[in-house]
Amino acid sequence: MSQPTTDPTFYRSAAEAAAAPPEQLAYVVAFDRAAAKPDALTVIDVDPASGTYGKVVGWTDVPHTGDELHHFGWNACSSALKHEGHDLQGLARRYLIVPGLRSSRLYVFDTQPDPRQPSLSKITDGTELADKAGYSRPHTSHCGPDGVFMTCLGGADGSDGPGGIALLDHASFDVLRKWETDRGPQYLAYDAWWHLNQNTLITSEWGTPSMIEDGLVPELLLANKYGHAIHFWDLAAGEHKQRVDLGEQYQMPLELRPSHDPDAAWGFVGVVVSTEDLSASVWRWHRDGGAWAVDQVITIPAEPADPDLLPPALKPFGAVPPLVTDIDLSVDDQFLYVSCWGTGELKQFDVHDPANPREAGSVRLGGIVGRNAHPAAPDQPLSGGPQMVEISRDGRRVYLTNSLYGAWDDQFYPDGVGAWMAVLHAEPHGGMTVDQAFFPHGDDFRGLRAHQVRLQGGDASSDSYCYR
């Protein structure tokens, strides 16, 4: 009898991932802000040699409305190799687990046998998430060594919090339990990532459902009530170990991007806004003796603007905040990409020295004031801005979509964000150019807004590696 083979998209190292065949498809969730039509998982052809390059080639609706599909991920990935010596038979990067941020439903899509036409294989109602884990409002999914980690913003039974992590089974996708065994002072939730070989999980903070679902609440922001800390945990035990406060003015540390080196003990977190001056920032966490420390390494200032061009929430300030809402770190840990959704800019930083990033490139698309056009449609001003950012494993392609979260879209872009997706070509030594042949937008998404991207075979933000 032949031995079972390990999924070839489970990469032992970051270098192996980068050397694997490039992605040919991108999976993109799209949602209906009006909650009148079903949300969908869309499939985009990203093979430049294809006759349908940049086109929507697959579409699967969910059966309900009002989900607002959000951050999603694979059932299994390279972190499964942490199980080597155990049973990996049948475990493969095959299913996409997609949370509905507003509905608390979990949808599981099967990308086989036809990766262009995913089928809906399971729906988990919000009551199961509440009953078994005590959470609601699932936000971000990561495949881990012991299961699928699903971060959640809200508590069960209508409670606003605390948020935390639900653990799902790799194979059945059943909700198993609350991951935390001792949460310590942690209350607000957002992202979760880890250093597998350091037995450390990190979490970040946004706000409870009531703080975010109808838009940014100015009174809460100016009172510094949104999240402003990150937390370090014992990954195996689920125990809280350390809280590091960035300072209450640094509101909303969101996306966490740890080094892809399994022996490293550092990473980056993006902060949406400072209430002191509307700047945004990126911070580096690292070991400092026996504890963890966090240092601000990038500051991006607000840009002055004519108040007449600003939405009501920003008119009193006469400036556009960058609003760093996503960051992504290339698989080789060489470049950090920072989405400035407010100013409509994607910044590229050389992080060969992670303590001293150096700006290496910039592209502007959309923006609250700029409305910078895509070169494929130079006479068409764009709304929204670079928001979700995903990087190919080889670091050469950077994918962008433009919607943040329905209520926040409406607040900062009150005339609408539309829908668009772009791909940038990254140069090996820094610099980016926009691909003029790739521009799914408008009716391509059938009136829905495009949010997160996942790439076939894995991408820069979906895998953690176990070996050098």
Cβ-Cβ contacts under 8 Å for 209 (sequence gap 6 or more): 136, 137, 153, 154, 160
> Is 3 a member of any domain?
no
Q: In terms of residue numbers, what domain contains 445?
A: 14-455
**Model pLDDT, residue 1:** 33
460 occurs within a structural domain: no
Any domain includes 467: no
CATH of the domain at 117: 2.130.10.10
User: Residue 298: what pLDDT?
Assistant: 98
In a domain, 289, yes or no: yes
The verdict on residue 224 lying in a domain is yes
d(CA 136, CA 166): 9
Question: In the chain, helix, strand, coil percent, each to 5?
Answer: 10, 40, 50
**Structural domains of the chain, count:** 1
18-28 per-residue burial string, b: 16 or more CB within 10 A, e: under 16: beeebbbbbbb
Return the structure tokens found at 342: 């407010």
Asked, for residue 254, whether it belongs to a domain, the answer is yes
Does residue 228 belong to any structural domain of this protein? yes
> In whole angstroms, what is the distance from residue 266 CA to residue 285 CA?
5
Digitized pLDDT (tens) for each residue of the chain, 468 residues in all: 334 468 999 999 999 999 999 999 999 999 999 999 999 999 999 999 999 999 999 999 999 999 999 999 999 999 988 865 555 667 899 999 999 999 999 999 999 999 999 999 999 999 999 999 999 999 999 998 788 999 999 999 888 999 999 999 988 999 999 999 999 999 999 999 999 999 999 999 999 999 999 999 999 999 999 999 999 999 999 999 999 999 999 999 999 999 999 999 999 999 999 999 999 999 999 999 999 999 999 999 999 999 999 999 999 999 999 999 999 999 999 999 999 999 999 999 999 999 999 999 999 999 999 999 999 999 999 999 999 999 999 999 999 999 999 999 999 999 999 999 999 999 999 999 999 999 999 999 999 999 999 999 999 999 999 888
| Residue 89: per-residue pLDDT | 65
Residue 319's nearest CA partner among 369, 385, 373, 252 is 369
3-state SS of 304-369?
A: ECCHHHCCCCCHHHCEECCCEEEEEECCCCCEEEEEECCCCEEEEEECCCCCCCEEEEEEECECCC
Q: Is 151 domain-assigned?
A: yes
